[in-house]
Amino acid sequence: MKVVVTGAAGFIGSHLVDKLLSQGYTVTGIDNLSAGRLENLEETLGYESFKLVRADLLDPSAWSNEFRGAEIVFHLAANPEVRHSVREPLEHYHQNLTATMHVLEVARRHRVNTIVYASSSTVYGDPEQIPTPESHPLKPISIYGATKAAAESLLETYSRLYGIKTLILRYANIVGPRLRHGVIYDFIMKLLRDPARLEILGDGSQRKSYLHVSDAINATLAALDNLIVTGEYSETYNVGNEDWTTVREIAEHCCKSDGFRRGQIHIQAGYSRR
């Protein structure tokens, strides 16, 4: 079966490509390498059943033919940096929402059967309930979260209007090899610059749920199997853990890890919501 993965050279996308190839799929990856890295795909670039197309989703003429004959599109390409969304809301909107609209339109034209979308737990904002059920109201508190919520709505509407199957996965904070953004990555980078001092924004009490990338990929493919078995047109799942940890605890772990044992945590009020 032919499938397409957008954001294939990124953190989660490259792990998904590894898994799909190991299961016998023929995979076309699309990535503009704005954040993704060819090193993430170095084991897969030699596979006959894998092709990487370097293209920007904002320019559909460069990649739309790749959807021809594809059964499933895994749409992961996005800018996942919440801070970027706060600094550059319009640019972020185009990278996350305009790009998604192009994916949906090209999928419709090429009669793609199913779109799997990488959404985020940020669609809930500051949830009133933890663990948060999928039925919880969507009240994003970042432009990033708002683009994910809007993209979800577009996907569901395409499903109702055009009969495209859609699977929406609201990932928690995913961690593992090849990760190059988010709180843990930022803390390690700060400690590499100054091993004696780790500054954290906010009061450190913000809670985060973490999941290893291999579990996230397994959950994604299990949810896809379920969509096929149940015959539903649109499904939405949280993909995360029921437990959580605070930003301060994460900072303490980073400071205790090898090489950074001298690290002192300094709290600095500021924007840190995700």
Report the interface residues with ligand NAD, using CB under 6 A. 7, 9-13, 30-36, 56-58, 76-80, 95, 99, 118, 120, 171, 173-174, 182
237 among known catalytic residues: no
Selected catalytic residue, list 117, 144, 158, 237: 144
Distance in Å, CB of 175 to ligand NAD, minimum: 7
76 vs 254, which CB is nearer to ligand NAD?
76
Distance in Å, CB of 58 to ligand NAD, minimum: 5
Distance in Å, CB of 261 to ligand NAD, minimum: 27
13 vs 125, which CB is nearer to ligand NAD?
13
254 vs 263, which CB is nearer to ligand NAD?
254
Distance in Å, CB of 273 to ligand NAD, minimum: 14
57 vs 255, which CB is nearer to ligand NAD?
57
The rounded distance, in Å, linking the Cα atoms of 129 and 6 is 32
120 vs 234, which CB is nearer to ligand NAD?
120
Distance in Å, CB of 247 to ligand NAD, minimum: 14
Determine if residue 189 is left, alpha or beta; phi over 0 gives left, psi from -120 to 50 gives alpha, anything else beta.
alpha
Instruction: Give a three-class secondary structure readout of the chain.
Output: CEEEEECCCCHHHHHHHHHHHHCCCEEEEEECCCCCCHHHHCCCCCCCCEEEEECCCCCHHHCHHHHCCCCEEEECCCCCCHHHHHHCHHHHHHHHHHHHHHHHHHHHHCCCCEEEEEEEHHHHCCCCCCCCCCCCCCCCCCHHHHHHHHHHHHHHHHHHHHCCEEEEEEECEEECCCCCCCHHHHHHHHHHHCCCEEEEECCCCCEECEEEHHHHHHHHHHHHHHHHHHCCCEEEEEECCCCCEEHHHHHHHHHHCCCCCCCEEEEECCCCCC
Catalytic residues: 144
